[in-house]
Structure 1
Amino acid sequence: MNPKNTIEEDVEVSFVPMAYIKDGYANEAKFDRRQWRDIKLGFTHFQNNDLGIAKITPCFENRKSVIFKNLYNNYGAGTTELHIFRPIVFPIIAEYALYISKTENFISNGIANFSGAVGQQRVGKDIIGDYLIALPPLEEICKILSSISKLFLIVDGIGNDKDQLYSYIQKTKSKILDLAIRGKLVPQNPNEEPASMLLERIKAEHPESKKKAKNAGDNSHYQNLPQGWTECTLESIGSWSSGATPNRSNKMYYENGTISWLKTGDLNDSYIDYIPEKITDLALKECSVRLNPKDSVLIAMYGATIGKIGILNIPATTNQACCTCITYSGIYNKFLFYLLMAKKKILQMKAEGGAQPNISKEKITSFPILLPPSQEQIRIIQVVESLFQRLDNITAEL
């Protein structure tokens, strides 16, 4: 600990003030060039492969520590607020000690043994020198350091690129949704009513769906269909409609209107609480618009917004570029919402047209899906929202 250098006075060496040592988990320091005669007294001595650990607050708590590398002529001196550890035999021991010096336990032990006045407290040489460590075989140390380096590269890459982390989060959300709609996110319960029986009940309650529903009884072509799930189409699980645009030249359709009229630009892939444009009761009566209740699920069919979705928190009508679903009993709107979100890219690929491609209501309603039992839909929603909240909390910290 804290060795002295013995070299010629006219040798040019490195000089390292405390400000030149990076804090945190970095292992970096920059330096200036000085003549040895100018810095041999009144400064801390070190050489290549020595470990320097800051001893004064707050530098110690901030993990200012470094392995000195590439020093001019192998030697250097610098701030007196360092303790120097020089490995006797293997330089790699110093690197192992570096990572120990950055652990929470090491820092906490040092803080508990601070001495000196407030604002000028230090960790003594003996506190650091007497700190007990677990010393594995040399080969094991090499493996540990290699693993730490790889992990730090990943962490540094994420820390230096918030956009990349945001991209990882979005991909993670996509993967969660993919697992959810394939029955891989939550376990199945054999005691729950199967989705096929749910569809039969929907047919009885909504006779118009009988002629539309795809046969839900034969799922033999799905070799790995989750237990209790069934195949159907989107039209089997709700009442779908597209809207219209009341004649703009008829002011009586718009002036002093109180009924929300949604355009696809109002969709936000979330809950919709406010819609700026309104139409009148006359427009609702005379035009091909439906007043959709709160909790209806919407999806855009035209142009750049194709696949954009939302859930109404207020009753609203829509224009013709938007398709709306009022889900049947036993079908949870949030499950449909996450299903459409998961299938967004596939639905977009079904769009046709030149300057303004679109996907028709018929293509949406005939889209095949796998439907889980009602109770499993609830569990899927709960898990998806819990995981999404955690990811959103990370995003909020970026």
Structure 2
Amino acid sequence: MNAERLLQHYEQIADAPDAITRLRRFILDLAVRGKLVPQDFEDEPASELLKRIAEEKARLLKAGEIRTPKPLGAVVDAPFSIPSNWSWSQIAEIGIISPRNDAPDALETSFVPMPLIAAEYGVANRHEVRTWGEIKKGYTHFAEGDVGLAKITPCFENGKSTVFRNLTGGIGSGTTELHVVRPLLVVADYILLFWKSPHFIETGIPKMTGTAGQKRVPTDYFANSPFPLAPLAEQHRIVAKVDELMALCDNLEAARTERETKRDRLAAASLARLNSPDPETFRDDARFVLDALQALTARPDQIKQLRQTILNLAVRGKLVSQDPADEPAEELLELITAERDALVRRKEIRREAPLEPVTARDCPHAIPSSWAWSRVGDAVLFTQYGSSQKSHASQNGVPVLTMGNIQDGSVIWGNEKRIPESSDDLPALYLKTSDLLYNRTNSAELVGKTGIYRGQNDVRTFASYLIRLRPSLLHSSPVYLNVAMNAPSFRETQIVPLIKKQTGQANVSGSALKNMLIPIPPLAEQHRIVAKFDELMAHCDQLETSLTIADETRRRLLDALLAEALAPVNAEALQEAAE
């Protein structure tokens, strides 16, 4: 059987994002195509089973137990090949469609609303106990062993269907959004696995009728679409094999969940030790994380957590070693102040009121002794709101950067809206290389994001809900400032407490921005931090790429194995199986 190789290679594909889900679908697909268990040519052929079903229907009709069924047409277009001892049939041919119950009103019975029907194969229906008089009218009838199919969207697409079992009083009724069949001489679970198979669901979706949100599977598709009928003995073997393989999937899923849970806990604990570092163990903790990165990270969300940790380490003085020979940050801030004063004297910027000094009580966390806490407004030369002039889609004029252009600490291009070059806001609001753009108005989770502009001087401007920060290129590293303003610790301590919601959006003003606290290292250390940060981010990029490639490789292997498993078995192999 072609499917064997898939199971042999399962360990290689187990970590593909949807491997187990696809394996479950694949098992059902094999089952309804006659590829899950070998055929036994000693079995009574399905054609003989159909004759016996027809005789049973005639007996029930003569006894007055069923109504005269509608005449059936022949199955014309077989959707796929099936074994020679199988037959194409229809649900209406092998059972009683929409059966009715007759029982005393006082009898305790089962009521099954849609939420009590599972989408997963092998999960039994649940029920509520009610008297038959309460539920006999206005609901769909069924009895023990009947098979129900959810006909409304999205329940049908999700695979909601069940064999009704353990019904109180042996009968029940339920949601009107069900098609029901009472099988005759056919294994109910075999019908169920066909209804949950990808073929039946995917073929049925285009045939649904009605308006969006209220589409339903028509009775004709339910009752008269081609049904691959296996010999009765093989139906029992197929159901047993499906149950066995679904239990294997459960075990694989549980093992994968346990494996991922352990890895998640180890990764979370390791990153937590870095985010709240112990001075005595920090170096060993950091070395462990860096050495074990590949083992600790198996999903993109874990890479994101790692990036956030690196940002926090950068602004705590834990990413690189301090050098006592570096010029202290306090002296650096004095040089920035002097440069700002020179701009004021040359009337290139306006003089602003001095900001409050930083006190020890203000400081959010510990930093090395050579560092200094500074107000953002004191760490840059000036801040400035963007253009309030309305922009328009145009091929001419000056591009206007907006909140959407700030992504993951960078400023990206692609905004087609522009303002005229003659605008009164220009040239004062032209951007220069290494300017920082801070998003002052956005949703609560995005307000405060900052990006560094790496484009050309004097070719782009920015919108009014952005604030430009102009760093000193002589006495600071704009990249370090950008890293620090994107660190989770900066957001948690400086931005989140200041968010003011207005008309569904959050706002953190320019005045609040200037008063935020930012940790400033010596300039030489800023450059070392940036170099180490870039190195580690490149490593994260490589890890992310390797995860993507590994996932794609697993997915391709899974696709190949599924295609091979579903490939027709050649006649020679079939003859060998018969012998």
Q: TM-score range by the shorter chain?
A: 0.5 to 0.7
Matches within 5 A, 1:91-240: 153-154=259-260, 165-207=299-341, 211-215=353-357, 224-238=366-380, 239-240=382-383
- State the one-letter code of the partner of 2:480: F
**Deviation (angstroms), 1:163:** 10
Contact 1:198-1:330 at 8 Å conserved across structures: yes
Q: Tell me if 1:313 matches 2:447.
A: no
CA RMSD of aligned residues (A): 3.8
In structure 1, the residue matched to 2:384 is 241
- State the one-letter code of the partner of 1:368: L
In structure 2, the residue matched to 1:335 is 480
Q: Pick the aligned partner of 2:402 from 253, 257, 263.
A: 263
Is the alpha carbon distance of 1:288 and 1:258 closer, same or farther for their aligned partners in structure 2, counting shifts above 3 Å? closer
Q: Pick the aligned partner of 1:277 from 406, 411, 417.
A: 417
Q: Deviations over 1:39-98 (max 9, x none)?
A: xxxxxxxxxxxxxxxxxxxxxxxxxxxxxxxxxxxxxxxxxxxxxxxxxxxxxxxxxxxx
Is the alpha carbon distance of 1:212 and 1:288 closer, same or farther for their aligned partners in structure 2, counting shifts above 3 Å? farther
Is the alpha carbon distance of 1:20 and 1:360 closer, same or farther for their aligned partners in structure 2, counting shifts above 3 Å? closer
Q: Deviations over 1:347-385 (max 9, x none)?
A: 144210241221101111110121101111111111111
C-alpha distance in 2 between matches for 1:307 and 1:221: 20
Q: What secondary structure is seen at the aligned counterpart in 1 of 2:314?
A: helix
- State the one-letter code of the partner of 1:344: R
Is the alpha carbon distance of 1:164 and 1:322 closer, same or farther for their aligned partners in structure 2, counting shifts above 3 Å? farther
Q: Deviations over 1:8-38 (max 9, x none)?
A: xxxxxxxx967653465799xxxx999xxxx
Q: Deviations over 1:86-145 (max 9, x none)?
A: xxxxxxxxxxxxxxxxxxxxxxxxxxxxxxxxxxxxxxxxxxxxxxxxxxxxxxxxxxxx
Q: Pick the aligned partner of 2:432 from 285, 293, 308.
A: 293
Q: Deviations over 1:248-301 (max 9, x none)?
A: 6xx9xx866432211112222224344422222221x25796112122111111
Where structure 2 has 5 or more consecutive residues not aligned to the other structure, the ranges are: 15-35, 39-254, 265-295, 345-350, 549-579
Query: Larger relative CO (CA 8 A, sep 6+): 1 or 2?
Result: 2
Q: Pick the aligned partner of 1:391 from 526, 540, 552.
A: 540
TM-score by length of 2: 0.39
Q: What secondary structure is seen at the aligned counterpart in 2 of 1:381?
A: helix
Q: What secondary structure is seen at the aligned counterpart in 2 of 1:202?
A: helix
C-alpha distance in 2 between matches for 1:257 and 1:33: 69
Contact 1:273-1:313 at 8 Å conserved across structures: no
Contact 1:203-1:210 at 8 Å conserved across structures: no
Q: Tell me if 1:344 matches 2:484.
A: no
**Deviation (angstroms), 1:303:** 2.1
In structure 1, the residue matched to 2:54 is none
**Deviation (angstroms), 1:233:** 0.6
- State the one-letter code of the partner of 1:183: G
Contact 1:261-1:278 at 8 Å conserved across structures: yes
Instruction: Name the % identity.
Output: 20
C-alpha distance in 1 between matches for 2:37 and 2:507: 68
TM-score by length of 1: 0.56
Which stretch shows the higher mean deviation, 256-265 or 375-384? 256-265
Q: Pick the aligned partner of 1:323 from 458, 467, 482.
A: 467
In structure 2, the residue matched to 1:50 is none
- In proportion to residue count, which structure has more helix? 2
Contact 1:297-1:325 at 8 Å conserved across structures: yes
In structure 1, the residue matched to 2:507 is 358
Contact 2:439-2:447 at 8 Å conserved across structures: yes
Contact 1:241-1:323 at 8 Å conserved across structures: yes
